[in-house]
Amino acid sequence: MNTASHTAFWDKLWALVGGVSVRTKILGIILALTVILGLGITWQVRAVMTRVFVAELGQRGLSVVSDLAARSIDPILLNDNFAVHQLLSDTVANHPDALYAFVLDNEGRVLAHTFGASGFPLALLDLESEVYGASESKRRIQHRIYSSNQGIVHDFSAPIFDGRSGVVRLGLTENRLSGIVNAMTGQMLLTTIVVALVGIAAASFLTWLLTRPILALVDTTHQVGKGDLSARAPHWADDEIGALADAFNAMAENLETSRQAIAEKDMARTQLLEQLITAQEEERKRIARELHDDVGQALTSLLVGMKVAGQLESAAEMRAKSEEMRTFAAETLEQVRLLSRQLRPSVLDDLGLAAALNRYAEEFRQRHPQFAVDLHFDLAGRLPPTVETTLYRIVQEAMTNAARHSGGGAVSVLLTRHDGHVRAIVEDDGQGFDVEGARRAGRSVGLHGMAERAELVGGHLEIESGGDGTAVYVEVTL
């Protein structure tokens, strides 16, 4: 067999063996082992028993035939053929394996035999001349085996009176002993079949016990595969399969948790988007209102003032009016500046994050005079614009939250940069809050907005809150 066909053979065999169920495999193994063991032992015992029986039969034949030879000397010398016949008949009757016995005189004539009415089979004499022909052998006890229509026959011959008074012969058949061996073989084969049946029953039960948790696991896997992440595999026992079921369940649980997290995030993002759009509209409304109410009003007043000034006659009155209008214009300019700063702090673009946050802190102090604000920066130069904007907005939101919700009296901001990371920490000393609860409540645009902004620049945001305050940590890799 060359290598290619060798591999093909194993492939085929493996496909055949691998294709059947575990149950069939185990049943096959048990059945094969039982049958091989049963047949092997039966064959072995049969061979040994046959050998022992045949040897024993030979021993027995030799001793009986020599006994016959000794006991027939006297009747033969006395020419008492009847007594010889009687001796032969008794011997054959007392030995269950004896088939025949006869005595030949010196000339080879039959003196007495046990064949009865059917007569003496002359073929036996052929055997006589064939095997015992040599006069030399007439002086020794002989054992010869031949097969006849009555089965295998052991023929023994013994010289009478050292061969001077003829020969006595005895035929023993193996039939009875073969019968015993056959009966025993049948018994053992029956036992093998019973053991095989019991083995099959035990193996069936065992494989049912073994495959039940595996099939349950397969079932659960299908359910999970179809999207039912709440499906769990039953834990039948503390063995390897039990461990597998536990591991599978842990995996399904993780899947379920992460799917929930994704769903929550998705929902929050949608809400964020909606609220961002609303906030944008609100912002536009506010700017439009401020432009209309404040700047529009101021410019209208300026127009009116200019008209009045044009009609004034005294120079002193005109100076006073123009002074009044200058103050008015200056106020209006300040309002426009504030408005533009609120829209986008240009200082962030021009001077960087630290300066922008310093300015924001100023405004914060003005708005919340009861709050102590503490700033620490260790930034060493500018950061990428997107990171600056992100950190600015996050710190802004965290400070606003501290002022609005914490109920504390101080907020501190720490910005550091090292090894390509920027980290911002905003801490207050308020009463804290349930972060997960607020997030899950869904309406917390501020909290989600902070996290989203951090993620957008590849950063990471965490909020720790407890009885002694809240800390917001952001870390962005540059």
Ligand X SMILES: Nc1ncnc2c1ncn2[C@@H]1O[C@H](COP(=O)(O)OP(=O)(O)OP(=O)(O)O)[C@@H](O)[C@H]1O
Catalog residues that contact ligand X under the rule CB under 6 A.
401-402, 404-406, 428, 430, 432-433, 438, 444-447, 470
Residue 21 or 342 having the CB closest to Mg ion: 342
Partner from ligand X, Mg ion, none binding residue 332, C-beta < 5-8 Å depending on class: none
Q: Which run of H or of E encompasses 315?
A: helix 315-343
Q: Which run of H or of E encompasses 145?
A: strand 142-148
> What are the structure tokens assigned to 295, written together?
């700047």
d(CA 465, CA 473) in angstroms, rounded, equals 11
Residue 89 or 396 having the CB closest to Mg ion: 396
* Burial (0-12, 13-18, 19+ Cβ within 10 Å), 103: buried
- Closest approach, Cβ 285 to Mg ion, in A, equals 20
Residue 172 or 472 having the CB closest to Mg ion: 472
- Closest approach, Cβ 407 to ligand X, in A, equals 7
Partner from Mg ion, ligand X, none binding residue 447, C-beta < 5-8 Å depending on class: ligand X
Cα distances from 153 to residues 49, 62, 98, 170, 180, in angstroms, run 18, 14, 9, 10, 16
d(CA 405, CA 399) in angstroms, rounded, equals 10
470 forms beta bridges with: 465
- Closest approach, Cβ 278 to ligand X, in A, equals 11
Q: Is there binding between residue 72 and Mg ion (CB under 5 A)?
A: no
- Closest approach, Cβ 259 to Mg ion, in A, equals 28
Among 163, 242, 305, 446, binds Mg ion (CB under 5 A): 446
Answer for the pair 426, 472: CB distance below 8 angstroms, yes or no.
yes
Per the listing, tokens 């095997």 go with 131
Partner from Mg ion, ligand X, none binding residue 171, C-beta < 5-8 Å depending on class: none
* Residues between 328 and 357 with contacts to Mg ion, criterion CB under 5 A: none
Partner from Mg ion, ligand X, none binding residue 165, C-beta < 5-8 Å depending on class: none
Nearest to 37 by CA among 184, 181, 188, 200: 188
Longest dimension (CA), the chain: 198
- Closest approach, Cβ 446 to ligand X, in A, equals 2
Q: Which run of H or of E encompasses 361?
A: helix 353-367
Give the CB-nearest residue to Mg ion.
446
Residue 296 or 446 having the CB closest to ligand X: 446
Partner from Mg ion, ligand X, none binding residue 61, C-beta < 5-8 Å depending on class: none
- As a 3-state breakdown, the chain gives helix, strand, coil percent values, each rounded to 5, of 65, 15, 15
Per the listing, tokens 């496909």 go with 15
Partner from ligand X, Mg ion, none binding residue 49, C-beta < 5-8 Å depending on class: none
Q: Which span sits near Mg ion by CB under 5 A: 207-215, 321-329, 444-452, 456-464?
A: 444-452
- Closest approach, Cβ 397 to ligand X, in A, equals 6
Among 401, 412, 465, 470, binds Mg ion (CB under 5 A): 401
- Closest approach, Cβ 246 to ligand X, in A, equals 38
Q: With b meaning 16 or more CB within 10 Å and e meaning fewer, what string describes 82-92?
A: ebbbebbeebb
Partner from Mg ion, ligand X, none binding residue 97, C-beta < 5-8 Å depending on class: none
Residue 174 or 428 having the CB closest to ligand X: 428
Helix or strand or coil: residue 53? helix
Residue 275 or 335 having the CB closest to ligand X: 275
Residue 317 or 374 having the CB closest to ligand X: 374
Q: Which span sits near Mg ion by CB under 5 A: 130-138, 158-166, 310-318, 398-406?
A: 398-406
What spatial distance separates the first Cα and last Cα of the chain, rounded to whole Å?
A: 66
| Helix spans in 226-296 (H) | 240-290
* Residues between 275 and 334 with contacts to Mg ion, criterion CB under 5 A: none
State the DSSP code for 472: E
Contacts of 471 (CB under 8 A, 6+ apart): 425, 426, 427, 463, 464, 465
Q: Which span sits near Mg ion by CB under 5 A: 273-281, 350-358, 379-387, 401-409?
A: 401-409
Residue 232 or 439 having the CB closest to Mg ion: 439
- Closest approach, Cβ 449 to Mg ion, in A, equals 8
Partner from Mg ion, ligand X, none binding residue 412, C-beta < 5-8 Å depending on class: none
d(CA 167, CA 212) in angstroms, rounded, equals 78
d(CA 15, CA 468) in angstroms, rounded, equals 68
- Closest approach, Cβ 352 to ligand X, in A, equals 25
Give the CB-nearest residue to ligand X.
446
- Closest approach, Cβ 426 to Mg ion, in A, equals 12
Cα distances from 192 to residues 38, 44, 204, in angstroms, run 5, 14, 18
- Closest approach, Cβ 456 to ligand X, in A, equals 17
Answer for the pair 78, 198: CB distance below 8 angstroms, yes or no.
no
Q: Which residues bind Mg ion (CB under 5 A)?
A: 401, 446
